[in-house]
């Protein structure tokens, strides 16, 4: 029987410590500045590229870690540094996952390197799924892709919103409807190459948190892309649509769509981001409670504070274990029969909101000021229960999975 262990191996520990050092020395000291500027921290991304963190090779090494823990370990350490800057560094990964989950080997080899650029000329990529009227309700997507057979081109029209790196990306991955009658089952993903006419940035959002990460609308006005930009190819799409139509005639069954495939692969990673932010806030609160004195003794001597810290640490460790379980299951091809990926994202994101709020409470008035980082961490934590599926959607996915109901 294979040995069971919950310890990272020596190589993983080395990578973890390297990432932690970068987060501590490069990301965290710059966090407040870029939060205030609300701009993409290109110099920090370039530093990450120079040391090898922002690169296809590093991402691939972590993605294909046979234990499944490479990506969640990396996410936790980077987001421990700062969520906004870290999201600017890893945001390209969502587009890369979209290509890895749905693309051919040729598409993977062609487009993912262009998403990152190199250390001297860094690039970013964007995954565009949400729309003004279709966030969690992906079946209501209005962006359309129509095939022009004479030219072997797809013509895409629509508006995307909440796109990380939207409009500033070198490569955009866009989810569009190719058969509206099939709802979410009629979606496909497309590569929009650099400098494609018709693609433009719309509104850039001024956000409550993760303000160093660029979030914007993406406008697609008669965007034409070659047939080769359909992820997976047209033959595979036609086969999938035919199966979906046949199953719809028989009453319908659960069918995975392109956007859902990407989100399923990335939800444990988002959980790991939340764990990193929660851990950072907990550590600030713990250090403060040890050194802050009231009534002649450290405030950690008071059970009201000590018990909060005990709960915070317990919830963080539980969240990490759920993330690790889901990540291990994914890399080993274990089916999420109880929506374990959604479980990890749900619990970790709710934990981040709760722990960062408790950290502010422990710091009292100081926690409410920008002199201490916990107020920024609390603002950042709010996003985890919203993007890539709200907490309500995670509960819907979990409940329908354990009940055997279809997820549409």
CATH code for the domain defined by 125-249: 2.40.110.10
The Cα–Cα gap between 174 and 167 comes to 12
What's the pLDDT at 56?
85
Phi, psi angle pair for 371, to nearest 5° = -70, -20
309 and 279 Cβ atoms separated by less than 8 Å: no
Spatial CA neighbour of 127 closest among 146, 100, 154: 100
User: Which one is catalytic: 14, 105, 388, 392?
Assistant: 388
Angle between helices 56-63 and 70-81 (to 10 degrees): 120
Residue 408: closest CA among 249, 238, 259, 226:
259
CA distance 72 to 271: 8
In the numeric block, which tokens belong to residue 18? 């390297």
Residue with tokens 């866009």: 174
Among the listed residues 334, 337, 333, 335, the one whose alpha carbon sits nearest the alpha carbon of residue 403? 337
Q: Which two tokens stand for residue 336?
A: 């999420």
Residues 100, 108 contacting (CB under 8 angstroms): yes
Q: Is 201 helix (H, G, I), strand (E, B) or coil?
A: strand
Pair type for strands 125-128 and 171-177: parallel
The rounded distance, in Å, linking the Cα atoms of 239 and 171 is: 27
d(CA 316, CA 347): 9
Question: Residue 61: CB partners within 8 Å, gap ≥ 6?
Answer: 70
Q: Would you give per-residue pLDDT tens digits along the chain (408 residues)? A: 346 678 899 999 999 999 999 999 999 999 999 999 999 999 999 999 999 999 988 988 998 899 999 999 999 999 999 999 999 999 998 899 889 889 999 999 999 999 999 999 999 999 999 998 766 666 678 999 999 999 999 999 999 999 999 999 999 999 999 999 888 889 999 999 999 999 999 999 999 999 999 999 999 999 999 999 999 999 999 999 998 888 777 664 444 445 555 565 678 999 999 999 999 999 999 999 999 988 889 999 999 999 999 999 999 999 999 999 999 998 888 888 899 999 999 999 999 999 999 999 999 999 999 999 999 999 999 999 998 889 999 999 999 999 987 766
Sign of CA dihedral 353, 355, 360, 361: positive
What CATH number does the domain located at 258-403 have?
1.20.140.10
- CA of 74: how far to CAs of 22, 36, 80, 97, 305, in Å? 11, 25, 10, 15, 30
Domain ranges of the chain: 10-122, 125-249, 258-403
Assign 3-class secondary structure to 269-328: HHHHHHHHHHHHHHHHHHHHHHHCEECCEEHHHCHHHHHHHHHHHHHHHHHHHHHHHHHH
Reported CATH class of domain 10-122: mainly alpha
Residues with Cβ within 8 Å of 398's Cβ and at least 6 positions away in sequence, in order, are 338, 339, 342, 343, 346
Residue 239 annotated in active site: no
Q: What is the pTM of this model?
A: 0.91
Please tell me the distance from the alpha carbon of residue 331 to that of residue 334, in angstroms, as a whole number: 8
Q: How far is CA 317 from its chain centroid?
A: 20
- Closest residue by Cα to residue 386 from 218, 219, 207, 259: 207
Give the separation between CA 214 and CA 89, rounded to whole angstroms: 11
State the DSSP string of 119-180: TTEE--EEEE--BTTBSS-GGG---EEEEETTTTEEEEEEEEEEEETTTT-SEEEEEEES-G
pLDDT of residue 250: 67
**Gap between the Cα atoms of 277 and 381, Å rounded:** 7
């Amino acid at each position: 029987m294979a040995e069971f262990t919950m310890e990272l191996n020596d190589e993983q520990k080395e990578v973890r410590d390297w990432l932690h050092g970068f987060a501590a020395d490069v990301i965290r000291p710059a966090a407040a500045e870029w939060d205030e500027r609300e701009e993409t921290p290109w110099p920090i991304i370039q530093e990450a590229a120079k040391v090898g963190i922002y690169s296809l090779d590093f991402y691939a090494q972590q993605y294909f870690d046979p234990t499944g823990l490479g990506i969640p370990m990396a996410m936790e350490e980077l987001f421990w540094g700062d969520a906004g800057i870290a999201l600017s560094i890893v945001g390209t990964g969502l587009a890369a996952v979209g290509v890895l989950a749905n693309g051919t080997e040729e598409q993977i080899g062609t487009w993912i390197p262009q998403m990152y650029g190199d250390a001297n000329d860094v690039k970013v990529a964007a995954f565009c799924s949400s729309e003004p009227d279709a966030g969690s309700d992906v079946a209501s997507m209005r962006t359309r892709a129509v095939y022009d057979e004479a030219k072997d081109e797809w013509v895409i029209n629509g508006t995307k919103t909440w796109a990380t790196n939207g409009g500033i990306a070198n490569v955009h991955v866009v989810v569009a409807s190719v058969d509206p009658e099939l709802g979410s089952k009629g979606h496909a993903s497309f590569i929009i190459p650099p400098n494609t006419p018709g693609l433009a940035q719309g509104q850039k959002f001024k956000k409550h948190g993760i303000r160093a990460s660029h979030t914007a609308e993406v406008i697609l006005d008669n965007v034409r892309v070659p047939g080769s930009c359909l992820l997976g190819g047209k033959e595979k799409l036609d086969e999938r649509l035919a199966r979906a139509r046949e199953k719809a005639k028989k009453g319908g069954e659960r069918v995975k769509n392109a956007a859902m495939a990407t989100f399923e692969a990335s939800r444990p990673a988002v959980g790991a981001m939340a764990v990193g932010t929660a851990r950072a806030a907990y550590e600030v609160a713990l250090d403060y409670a040890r050194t802050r004195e009231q009534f002649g003794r450290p405030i950690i001597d008071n059970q009201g504070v000590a018990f909060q810290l005990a709960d915070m640490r317990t919830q963080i460790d539980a969240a990490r274990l759920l993330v690790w379980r889901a990540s291990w299951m994914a890399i080993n091809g274990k089916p999420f029969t109880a929506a374990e990926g959604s479980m990890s994202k749900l619990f970790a994101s709710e934990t981040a909101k709760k722990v960062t709020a408790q950290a502010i409470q422990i710091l009292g008035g100081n926690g409410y000021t920008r002199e201490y980082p916990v107020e920024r961490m609390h603002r950042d934590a709010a996003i985890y229960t919203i993007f890539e599926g709200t907490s309500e959607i995670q509960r819907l996915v979990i409940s329908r999975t354990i009940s055997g109901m279809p997820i549409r």
